[in-house]
Amino acid sequence: MPELRVLDRKPADLVRLGKEAQLHLNEGEFAAIQKYFERLGREPTQLELETIAQTWSEH
């Protein structure tokens, strides 16, 4: 599964990425994701981001 670069992106870029990938995550959620994966020392995979987005979904 490919990694998606999120660690070095600005909040507006992440929201745009989220819309393109149909993740529907907001800036705060992407900030939490960045912090978590910074601690791991790696970028998240597309599957990990999709799983997080679905888990955090409000519906």
Residue 1 in any domain: the answer is no
Residue 4 in any domain: the answer is no
Where residue 16 falls (left for φ over 0; alpha for ψ -120 to 50; beta otherwise) is alpha
Would you give the DSSP letter of residue 2? -
Total number of domains constituting the chain: 1
- 42, exposed or middle or buried, with CB in 10 Å at 0-12, 13-18, 19+? exposed
Residue 48 in any domain: the answer is yes
pLDDT at position 57, please? 87
Could you give the angle at which helices 27-40 and 46-55 cross, rounded to 10 degrees? Answer: 130
Residue 39 in any domain: the answer is yes
Residue 43 in any domain: the answer is yes
User: Under a CB-based contact definition with an 8 Å cutoff, are residues 4 and 43 in contact?
Assistant: yes
Residue 6 in any domain: the answer is no
pLDDT at position 58, please? 78
pLDDT at position 59, please? 65
| Full domain range(s) for residue 51 | 11-55
- Please list the pLDDT of the chain residue by residue as tens digits (59 residues): 677 789 999 988 998 988 888 898 999 999 999 999 999 999 999 999 999 999 998 76
Residue 31 in any domain: the answer is yes
